[in-house]
Structure 1
């Protein structure tokens, strides 16, 4: 086939084969989750107006489940930020505008964000019963919206082609829900690497949308608790700190 490895994680390996990208899931990865990722991506693709690598095929690659996507030639936005630090303000503004264009869409067949987060929070035993109850109560009280939420919107999931076109990849966590929850998640993902970029992102979003920063911040403990369900050791300390913050000045 001539496929070459271009990325790898604990659960999957991504190959490039000409104009195709083949995401191959390890043998113990649930089949239902593979099929669900393909379905979510196809539904987002069908909303139109967002540059998304097309799903071409779901199949088996060397005995393991795989999804074949259109390969997008370019660099991630994270790579560009590292290579051109003087352009970070411009890149960040474009990233916020891209996020807003995503959240302007609706994809009514996707799972609801609040339902997904409720399931995630209920599974985190280390938070304790009282904290989980507080989180669920707060989540229930949050406004219900139906905006398209990526669920993992960060510079590693944005590919910029040579002509400046931005593509958004990795839609497996996409849901429909409150835009500020998705922004809070992006803020936390930035915090794990660079607080300055996190604050820049939050400030730009709030300025462009007229959203009160305190409202976005009110989602942070809930989003942090939900993110803990992914059980990533390198994230645990920071997320636990946010998950136990309940008031903002």
Structure 2
């Protein structure tokens, strides 16, 4: 296949526009089931009536795993936000409303991966955490109870595409059945690595819109930070994450780590 224009590049895959479709080509170092794993989650989100690109095919392209999916016209919310920071409230509100819609989906336990299982694996594999820190984080994780809802797992403004008033949600590989408060915490951390002011604005708007307290979000902060340490992301400040984990492990209240 002669791939068209490179649309975007990420840690795990490159996206190309081809015949008015998007071809997501996965990198060679990933498990051989990665494309099917991600496609299944995206198809589930699509089946829930969310604005998600339709998947047409999962196959090998030029010897590499690939997903061929619907091409969505528009610009990412992240790019629009950066160009119009004076309208930050408007764009962050769009993010909050989309996330609220995702979180309205109740998930049966066997329909999609459980959040606690995914987070546990990440904490266990985080190379910068010692045995004691892992144990404390896992104990905290196991103490938290929640009703399983659909969580995107990596929702930030660059994973939303706007076309006039229609917003489409992309990149579903980290989706789980989990606690919406953890999903909010993850989004907060992702935004905060670039702008603490925008992260605080997001948290304020979400909590007001959904009637959840910041304290409920804060209890997830060391867990999400610890799990994030298992990911290899060049833009992330790992010391920031370690500081959050260390504060928790040293006995600080979770109210003090956000």
Give the TM-score band, short-chain normalised. over 0.9
Distance apart, 1:139 and its partner CA: 0.2
Secondary structure of 2:45's counterpart equals helix
State the 1:17 CA deviation: 1.1
By how many angstroms is 1:244 displaced?
2.1
Which residue number in structure 2 is paired with residue 174 of structure 1? Answer: 175
Partner of 2:230: 229
> How far apart are 1:55 and its partner, in Å?
0.7
In the alignment, which residue of structure 1 is the partner of 2:5? Answer: 4
Conservation of the 8 A alpha-carbon contact between 1:225 and 1:240: yes
The Cα shift of 1:164 comes to 1.6
User: Gaps (5+ residues) in structure 1?
Assistant: none
What displacement does 1:2 show?
5.7
Name 2:125's counterpart in structure 1.
123
Distance in 1, matches of 2:3 and 2:188, equals 39
| SS of residue matched to 2:247 | coil
Deviations 1:55-105 (A, max 9, x none): 111111112110011010100000000111121111111210110010001
Alignment of 1:97-136 (within 5 A): 97-108=97-108, 109-136=111-138
CA distance in 2 between counterparts of 1:41 and 1:11 reads 16
1:126-170: per-residue Cα shift (whole Å, max 9, x none)? 211111111001000111321100000000100001x22000000
Structure 2 counterpart of 1:204 = 205
Cα drift, residue 211 of structure 1: 1.1
- The Cα of 1:245 is off from its aligned counterpart by 2.7
Equivalent position of 2:54 in the other structure: 54
Q: In 2, are the aligned partners of 1:43 and 1:107 still within 8 Å (CA)?
A: no
2:44 alignment counterpart: 43
Give structure 1 regions of 4+ aligned residues with deviation exceeding 3 angstroms.
none
- 1:157 corresponds, among 156, 159, 172, to 159
Q: 1-side partners of 2:190 and 2:9: how far apart?
A: 20
Output the CA distance in 1 between the equivalents of 2:177 and 2:12.
25
Give the structure-2-normalised TM-score.
0.92
Equivalent residues in 2 for 1:135-146, closer than 5 Å: 135-146=137-148
SS in 2 for 1:183: helix
Question: Is residue 44–residue 107 contact of structure 1 (8 Å, CA) maintained in 2?
Answer: no
Equivalent in 237, 242, 245 of residue 243 of structure 1 = 245
The CA distance in 2 between the partners of 1:127 and 1:57, in whole Å, is 39
Alpha-carbon RMSD: 1.3
Whole-Å Cα distance in 1 between the matches of residues 166 and 189 of structure 2? 26
Secondary structure of the corresponding residue to residue 51 of structure 1 = coil
Partner of 1:91: 91
Whether the 8 Å contact between 1:55 and 1:69 is mirrored in structure 2 is: yes
TM-score, normalization: structure 1?
0.95
